[in-house]
Structure 1
Amino acid sequence: MIRNIFLIVVFFFGPALVMFMLRNGLILLRLWLAARSRRQQPEIIDVTPVRQTAAPRWFYALAIVLGLIAAAAGFMALQSTATDKRQYIPAHVDAQGELVPGHWQPASE
């Protein structure tokens, strides 16, 4: 149960964190391009106040939708059960002295 909750949280916040990093990367790229263009032009002092804008609402909505999709996919993958029960047989030396590599085989009941 705890594992399911932990993975759902990771799958929900993972895409949001990726989008947050992408947004910050784009902002840093824009700042770098602005600084680069400023170096090529004469400096003009501008005292006009600039309104700070938050990320658009579609960005938040997209982050939440992607997070919900990833969380649902992770939860469904955790809830699916294997159709065939298999047992892992580790590597061993058989009766003839040959090395048999590890392999999966159907479980004997």
Structure 2
Amino acid sequence: MRTRTNSTAYRSAIGVAIAAAFILIWLSLSVGIIGKHGDPANLMYFGVLAVGIIGAIIARLQPHGMVRALSATALAQAFVTAIALSVGLGLRGAGRQRSWG
């Protein structure tokens, strides 16, 4: 069984995954996804990247394995969001709204 790792769709998917990883790093370090810049809760997103990288290594960048690796990465992303919301991370000062009246 021959895999088509040279296809345009596969290369595009790899490009999108790399771009998404870059954006996730940039947002976590410079802007802050959870709370403000410098909030330690943003470090959880590096675990998401670790899941993706380890999954890609295990899959040896083969298409069927990469489907599983990227699915696990998306699941890890959802877990970070669920943890942040359930624990209330990044909500400091969210209840303080300016009164105009």
Query: Could you say which structure has the greater relative contact order, defined with CA pairs below 8 angstroms and 6 or more residues apart?
Result: 1
- TM-score, L = length of structure 1: 0.36
Pick the structure with more helix per residue.
2
- TM-score, L = length of structure 2: 0.38
Look at both structures and tell me which one has the larger radius of gyration over its CA atoms: 1
